[in-house]
């Protein structure tokens, strides 16, 4: 089985994570300068604001503090320790005081307010339910792809395995092939495939790690077993979302059972997409489910940086997805996943599929 090696691509977008300092080091002088916000996102209406607190060696400082945009190093729009904006986007701000540079505070400005996080049903618990993330690379023009689809269907019908995995199917066009114009393809598919080094179909990857090495149901089950382990996850994921016309906003919360640096990503999935499938054993394979319509997870697709999360602690990220009116939102769901570094790889720690518009709390074992 081939291990996927992650090459982290530098990106200008930022994750909405609160109080997770980046170690930029001091400009000069000594002491420790820390910048924090009272929240990680705001509505870009010019009125909502993030209240900023700066501490120097543990003492709050309010005067003679300068704020800068971390991407341009020009003065940031912070007045009376409050940041506000009318422009939707992602912002990174640092402070300088007494010749010392702070960590970077990351803020997301959204068109709509983000719904609150679901209540944690067991605040002291850190025993989370694990699900393996399968990423299926496929196409309606691929003659062998129905073989893997059939295995995944059998797995979903198996009482022992059906709750051990979630699936996102990445469809791509195959111009010139029979049924090569895939109705489930999406605009980011080429970048998505390139990030994973995909050179052909079918390809099935577990937790962004090992790939299916042979075409058999036993091999698919073995892949689940390898990554599922004892069924415990390093993190739990809770999600709440709201739909505002063609914009879907959501808040994802990640709680750690094991301290570490984590990333979070999201895919919008759609079921019930009709398209004739080459090599299909019957017409039921003409209906495609779990199709990725919109990935939102930084340019490398490994997720937005949440920084270091201590055991039992949590971090949030706010997402905003613009939806294509051609998608059937009634057939859509959200797949959220969390990754962390494992040697030179970036591996998924846990994943969930949740309905749109309903809060889903952490799932404990």
Residue 133 and residue 105 in one domain: no
- Return d(Cα 263, Cα 248) in angstroms, integer: 20
Residue 337 is assigned to a structural domain of this protein: yes
Which one is predicted more confidently, 240 or 63?
Answer: 240
Residue 333 and residue 192 in one domain: yes
Helices (H), the chain: 145-157, 189-195, 217-228
Residue 115 is assigned to a structural domain of this protein: no
Residue 134 and residue 101 in one domain: no
**Chosen domain end from 76, 110, 144:** 110
pLDDT of residue 333 exceeding 50: yes
Residue 187 is assigned to a structural domain of this protein: yes
pLDDT of residue 12 exceeding 60: no
| Distance separating the N- and C-terminal Cα atoms of the chain | 30
DSSP category for residue 225 = H
Burial class (CB in 10 A: 0-12, 13-18, 19+), 69: middle
pLDDT of residue 228 exceeding 50: yes
Residue 3 is assigned to a structural domain of this protein: no
What is the reported pLDDT for 3? 38
User: Into how many domains does the chain fold?
Assistant: 2
Residue 205 and residue 349 in one domain: yes
- Return d(Cα 223, Cα 235) in angstroms, integer: 20
Q: What tens digit of pLDDT does each residue of 132-187 get?
A: 999 999 999 999 999 999 999 999 999 999 999 999 999 999 999 999 999 999 99
Residue 18 is assigned to a structural domain of this protein: no
Which one is predicted more confidently, 335 or 342?
Answer: 335
Residue 101 and residue 194 in one domain: no
Residue 100, domain CATH:
2.60.40.10
Residue 25 is assigned to a structural domain of this protein: no
The pair of structure tokens assigned to 85 is: 């904006």
Which of 267, 253, 262 is CA-nearest to residue 234?
Answer: 262
Residue 102 and residue 207 in one domain: no
**Sequential DSSP letters for 67-104:** EEETTT-SBP-EETTEE--SS-EEEEEEEEETTEE---
Query: Stretch 51-57: mean pLDDT, rounded?
Result: 96
Which of 344, 195, 185 is CA-nearest to residue 265?
Answer: 195
Q: What tens digit of pLDDT does each residue of 82-137 get?
A: 999 999 988 999 999 999 999 999 999 999 999 999 999 999 999 999 999 999 99
Residue 216 and residue 173 in one domain: yes
Q: What is the mean pLDDT of the chain?
A: 91
- Return d(Cα 331, Cα 270) in angstroms, integer: 6
Residue 160 and residue 300 in one domain: yes
Residue 206 and residue 334 in one domain: yes
Residue 322 is assigned to a structural domain of this protein: yes
| Domain ranges, residue 57 | 33-110
Residue 192 and residue 100 in one domain: no
Residue 91 and residue 133 in one domain: no
Residue 170 is assigned to a structural domain of this protein: yes
Cα–Cα distances in Å, from 241 out to 6, 117, 204, 333, 360?
A: 30, 9, 29, 11, 9
What is the reported pLDDT for 1? 38
What is the reported pLDDT for 30? 76
Residue entry with tokens 């971090």: 315
What is the reported pLDDT for 29? 58
Residue 196 and residue 335 in one domain: yes
What is the reported pLDDT for 90? 87
pTM: 0.84
């Amino acid at each position: 089985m081939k291990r996927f090696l992650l090459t982290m691509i530098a990106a200008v977008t930022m994750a909405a994570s609160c109080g997770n300092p980046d170690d930029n080091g001091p400009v000069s002088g000594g002491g420790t300068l820390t910048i924090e916000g009272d929240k990680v996102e705001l509505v870009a209406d010019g009125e909502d604001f993030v209240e900023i607190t700066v501490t120097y060696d543990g003492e709050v400082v309010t005067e003679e503090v300068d704020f800068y945009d971390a991407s341009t190093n020009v003065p940031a729009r912070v007045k009376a320790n409050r940041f506000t904006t009318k422009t939707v986007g992602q912002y990174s701000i640092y402070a300088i005081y007494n010749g010392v540079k702070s960590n970077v505070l990351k803020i997301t400005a959204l068109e709509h307010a983000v719904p609150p996080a679901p209540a944690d049903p067991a605040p002291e618990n850190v025993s989370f339910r694990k699900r393996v993330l399968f990423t299926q690379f496929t196409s309606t023009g691929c003659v062998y792809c129905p073989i893997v689809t059939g295995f995944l269907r059998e797995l979903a019908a198996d009482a022992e395995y059906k709750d051990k995995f979630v699936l996102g199917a990445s469809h791509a066009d195959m111009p010139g092939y029979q049924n090569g114009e895939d109705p489930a393809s999406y605009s980011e598919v080429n970048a998505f495939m390139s990030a994973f080094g995909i050179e052909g179909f079918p390809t099935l990857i577990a937790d962004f790690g090992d790939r299916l090495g042979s075409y058999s149901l036993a091999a698919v089950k073995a892949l689940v077993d390898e990554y599922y382990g004892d069924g415990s996850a390093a993190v739990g994921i809770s999600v709440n979302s709201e739909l505002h016309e063609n914009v879907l906003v959501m808040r994802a919360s990640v709680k750690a059972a094991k301290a570490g640096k984590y990333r979070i990503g999201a895919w919008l999935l759609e079921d019930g997409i009709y398209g004739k499938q080459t090599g299909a054993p019957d017409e039921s394979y003409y209906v495609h489910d779990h199709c990725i319509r919109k990935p939102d997870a930084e340019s490398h697709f490994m997720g937005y940086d949440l920084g270091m999360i201590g055991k039992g602690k949590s971090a949030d990220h706010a997402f905003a997805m613009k939806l294509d009116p051609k998608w059937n939102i009634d057939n859509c769901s959200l797949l959220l996943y969390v990754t962390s570094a494992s040697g030179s790889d970036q591996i998924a720690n846990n994943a969930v599929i949740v309905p749109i518009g309903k809060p889903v709390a952490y799932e404990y074992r």
